Each structure stands twice: as structure tokens, then as C-alpha cells.
Amino acid sequence: MSHTTPKATRHVNQNEGLIFEKSSAGKAAWKLPPLDVPEVDTKKLLGAAERKDLGNMPEVSEIEIIRHFTRLSTWNYAIDLGMYPLGSCTMKYNPRVNEVVSRLEGLANAHPYQPEKASQGALRILKLLSECLIEITGMEAITLQPAAGAHGELTGLLMVRAHHHSKGHPRKKILIPDSAHGTNPATAATVGYAVENLKSNSQGRVDVSALAAQMNEDVAALMLTNPNTLGVFEQEIHKIADIMHAKGGLLYMDGANMNALVGKVRPGDFGVDVMHLNLHKTFSTPHGGGGPGSGPVAVKKFLEPYLPTPVLITKADGTLGFDYDRPQSVGRVRSFYGNFGMFVRALAYTFANGPDGLRQTTEDAVLNANYIRKGLEGVYDLPYSTPSMHEVIFSDKLQAKKGVRTMDIAKRLIDYGFHPYTTAFPLIVPGALMIEPTESESKEEMDLFIDAMRSIAQEVEEDPQIALNAPHTTRVSRLDEVAAARKPVLRWKPQT
């Protein structure tokens, strides 16, 4: 490597095999207290249903487990280590007080079916979070039940369908911009709608005349992300909403990019009828290696009757409870009430910020993205000159001349101590580099990022092989994904 990387260096790193490779009969990491009731004869109780053997389940000691997972953890990148410039993921700081409050025993050990009388604490959390999210989105009612964004999309579209059904015609299609996240069309299909693509204009925004042409009484809704996946605000949102509403269609908003809007503008105010939020993006709940998330769905009043069952209510005596008598509800989208642990965290985040903090957070998020845009303009191709909000898209057009694509640049970025940005999405930008720093990045971290990206661009000019063979400094080099897909090995097996 010809360039120095101020942020990251190589470091001695422990090897660690699979836990099964350490297993040996007689090792144990558990001990149970003595039974205070009589022992049972399992054979007598279970008969043929008795399990004789737990096969190759491991037997290891506690220290081996602690070392195993601790070593594994050191192979991961994480927000706690540095910036994730991942567009549309909003990888912001995961506050630790969130972790503490969610573990308070009365909340952590609460059974979902415990009597309402003994659940007023949890119900109050649901109520206050609901109220805050309604205020933030400018909507009028909400469900916290969906477990993630895609699940929220499903719930939202079920309500769209229920609405149209009540009007006598469920309609056939959903319009989705070609810049949309993959969950949007996948969800539409699950709800039984056909998907019709909506082209973006040259500025990367919805082509309003195309929308007007495609909108008719067979279209149930438009699924919009705003700002869109290019990080650009749909300025004609008023026209867009009017076109939809004029022919009885609904405007669904994918709230993945709310980090650009909180405290500055509210989707309910600009014509959105139904939307989902991603608590694991905007509201700081941890990504944890891929989940859990939480995808509340906020709606305007006319959709309230269709909310999933049960709905939170305040009873005559002032206590909180659930209402299951909801004849027009779309039903249930999961058991119990939603990812409660994420509600606690999101509410704690809201408390820590207050109105000023939430607004400042949004402003910093947009400020940061624009700073990075400025720092990389001219070095990377900017396919759209429209102003960026909280994320910016470049393309690999300039570097492609040297045979280097976005994925290669992303892999080289790893050597500079950063996690890659989002590659190859949205689909309308070939060779995309989608960058969202979030408000959690200091000027220092961003300068290191900008320097790293500039350095890589320079390397591409001088010696493309560096990027093409990157990363060079990780535990494993590029992995053979083709072999993994052709002949999948999806579990460990003992040597025979």
C-alpha cells in the first residue's frame, strides 16, 4: 500500500474456530439449582415423545464461550468504532442509557399477557411514544405493532387495501418509483397488488406528468420515499399528493429517510395518508448485526378504523388498556404488541433530545451530508445536481474508466478504517455510491472519510489494482460468493 491511512492500522487479531470445534463431552457452562419438587420419570410422562439425544449440540465451559464471542466481536466493524456512511441506513449513535432502561426488571420481565392492572407502566410507554411519533410525523393515529420497516409497509398497504375495499373497489396496482428500496415492490406483491414502475425525471425526482398519466382508478396508492433514495426532497409533493387524491388514490410514504425531516417538516402536513417509521434508523435503536427493528405505521384519521388489533385506549377510569373490538381492523400482523424493547429505546432517545435536540439532530444530519458532498465533488461523478438533504449519491463513472467499480472502491475504503457506503442502490444510478453520514459524525471523522475517498480516487488513477484487490488489511480477503451460492454450506457438520 503506497498511501498511509491515519484512521486504521493492522493489529494482532485472535483466531477462533467454530464453537463445535471446541466441544468435548463433560464440559459445562451451566448449573441448575436443586429441584424443589419431586423428580419425574420422563419415559413415563412422555413415552414415545421422549427425546433421547441432542446430537451435536456443543458442550463447552463459560470461559471458552466468553473468549469465543469476544474474539468474534473483534472481527466486526461497528458504530462504536467509526462512521458507517451507509445511505438510507441512518447508522447513528446508539445511546447506552437506552440499553439500561430497557433492562429495568419491571419492563424486561413483563409478560405480554399479564393483567392490564399490572401493566400500566408499559402501557404508558406505548401511549407516550405513540403521541410523540404522531406529533413528529404530523399524522393522526398510529400502530406500533410492525416489527420492522418492511413489516410496516405491509401493514400500511393492508390498510390502504381495506380503505379501498370499503369504497367498493380494492383497485389493482401500486405505483412505485424506480428509485425505491426493494422492500417496496416485494411488499406490494405480498398484499396482492401489481407493481407499476414510475420513472424519475432528470433531476431524480418523481416525473409529475408521468404520474398524472399513470394515475387512474385502478391505482390504489403511490409508495414514495421522501426525501427519496437519492437524498433529494420531492419539491412537488403538493402536486403529487393532489394527483393521487383527485382520483381517490392514497399517498404512502416510506419513512426510511425521516432523519432529514424530524423537527423541520411533517409528512402529515404535506399530504401523506399513511407512512411507516424505522425506529432502528431515525430513533437510534441499535442495528445489532441486522435487527431487531421496529416499524410503526402512522395514519390519517380516515384510516384509523383499519389499524391492526389491538389498539391502545384510555378507559373511563383513566387507566390504559387494549381494545380488541375492532370490526374493521386489518387483523394482526404479529403476536402481542410489537417490539416493545425498541419502544423503550426510542422514547428514551426522544427524552434525551427534546424538541431542540431533535431539530438540531436533523440539521446536523443534513449539514454533514452536504459537507461530504462538497468535499468529494469533482473527485467522484455527481449524477444529479439537485440539492442533497441527509444523504448524497455519487457514481463510479470516472473510476470505471480505469476498470474500477463502486464495490471495489467500497472494499478499499475498508483499508482506510471505514465501513463501505451503500453500493449499487438505488437502481436508477448505475454504479452508485450512496453516502449518509448522520448527525453522529464529528468534523474530524468526516475529514478522515473525505481524505480517504480522495486518496482512493488518486490510487485508482495511479494503480487500479490496489482497489481491485482490496481489502488488503482485513482478517479475510474477498470471499468467494459464487461458490457459496452454487454449493451452499449452511451449517457445520462433524467430520465423518
Partner 1 sequence: MRYLPKSPADREALLKAIGARSIDDLFDSIPAEYRLNRDLKVPRQMAESEIVDWFRERSRENGDGYTTFLGAGAYYHYRPVIIDALISRGEFLTAYTPYQAEVSQGTLQSIFEFQTMICELTGMEVANASMYDGSTAATEAVMMATRLTGKHSVVIAQSVHPEYREVLATYAVHQDMPLTTVGYGQNGRVDQKKLEQAITPQTACVLIQSPNFFGTIEDVAAIADMAHKQGALLVVSISEALSLGIVEPPRQADIIAMEAQSFGVPLGFGGPYCGVIATREQYVRQMPGRLVGQTVDRNGKRGFVLTLATREQHIRREKATSNICTNQALVALMVNIFMTVYGKVGLRELAKQNLAKAAYATEQFGKHAKVLFQGAPRFNEFVVQTSEDPYAINGRILGHKIVGGLPLKKFYPELGNAALWCCTEMTNRTSIDTVTGMIAESESTPEADVEEVTR
Partner 2 sequence: MAYPSDFKYTKEHEWVKANGNSATIGITNYAQESLGDIVFVDLPKVGSEITAGKTLGSVESVKAVSDIYAPVTGSVTEVNGELATAPEKINKDAHSAWMIKVALKNPSELNSLLSAADYEKFVAEEGGH
410 vs 408: CA distance, rounded Å: 5
117 near partner 2, judged by CB under 8 A: no
482 near partner 2, judged by CB under 8 A: yes
Of residues 402 and 419, the one with the C-beta less far from partner 1 = 419
Q: How far is the CB of 363 from partner 2 (least distance, A)?
A: 36
Give which of partner 2, partner 1, none residue 361 binds (C-beta under 5 to 8 Å, depending on kind).
partner 1
Lookup: cell for 368: 454533514
486 near partner 2, judged by CB under 8 A: yes
Task: Name which of residues 269 to 288 contact partner 1 (CB under 8 A).
Answer: 269-270, 280, 284, 286-288
Nearest partner of 449 among 363, 376, 370, judged by Cα: 376
103 vs 91: CA distance, rounded Å: 23
Torsion of CA 199, 204, 209, 210, to 10 degrees: 0
Task: Name which of residues 419 to 438 contact partner 2 (CB under 8 A).
Answer: 424
Instruction: Tell me which residue has cell 445511546.
Output: 95
Q: What angle do CA 255, 258, 260 make, to 5 degrees?
A: 145
Task: Name which of residues 24 to 43 contact partner 2 (CB under 8 A).
Answer: none
Nearest partner of 416 among 356, 371, 457, 362, judged by Cα: 457
Give which of partner 2, partner 1, none residue 259 binds (C-beta under 5 to 8 Å, depending on kind).
none
Task: Name which of residues 62 to 81 contact partner 1 (CB under 8 A).
Answer: 62, 65-66, 68-70, 72-81
CA 12 to each of CA 16, 71, 417, 418, 472: distance values in angstroms, whole numbers, following the listed order: 13, 11, 15, 18, 15
51 near partner 1, judged by CB under 8 A: yes
Give which of partner 2, partner 1, none residue 143 binds (C-beta under 5 to 8 Å, depending on kind).
none
Stretch touching partner 2 by CB under 8 A, among 18-26, 234-242, 337-345, 476-484 = 476-484
444 vs 417: CA distance, rounded Å: 14
Binding residues for partner 2, rule CB under 8 A, total 6
Lookup: cell for 246: 383527485
Stretch touching partner 1 by CB under 8 A, among 53-61, 244-252, 398-406, 459-467 = 53-61
433 near partner 1, judged by CB under 8 A: no
Neighbours of 278 (CB within 10 A): 25
Site for partner 2 (CB under 8 A): which residue of 33, 481, 494, 495?
481
B/e letters for 357-373, b = 16+ CB within 10 Å, e = fewer, are ebeebbebbbebbbbbb
Give which of partner 2, partner 1, none residue 148 binds (C-beta under 5 to 8 Å, depending on kind).
partner 1
Lookup: cell for 381: 461523478
B/e letters for 70-91, b = 16+ CB within 10 Å, e = fewer, are eeeeeeeeebeebbbbbbbbbb
The residues with which 198 forms a beta bridge, in sequence order, are 177
Q: How far is the CB of 283 from partner 1 (least distance, A)?
A: 12
Give which of partner 2, partner 1, none residue 279 binds (C-beta under 5 to 8 Å, depending on kind).
none
Site for partner 1 (CB under 8 A): which residue of 30, 167, 301, 316?
30
Stretch touching partner 1 by CB under 8 A, among 217-225, 298-306, 394-402, 468-476 = 468-476
Q: How far is the CB of 448 from partner 1 (least distance, A)?
A: 13
116 vs 314: CA distance, rounded Å: 12
Task: Name which of residues 132 to 191 contact partner 1 (CB under 8 A).
Answer: 132, 135-136, 147-151, 153-154, 158, 161, 181-183, 185-191
Neighbours of 408 (CB within 10 A): 25
Of residues 259 and 422, the one with the C-beta less far from partner 2 = 422
Of residues 308 and 383, the one with the C-beta less far from partner 1 = 308
As a three-state string, the secondary structure of 181-202 is CCHHHHHHHHCCCEEEEECECC
476 near partner 2, judged by CB under 8 A: no
What are the residues binding partner 2 (CB under 8 A)? 424, 481-482, 484-486
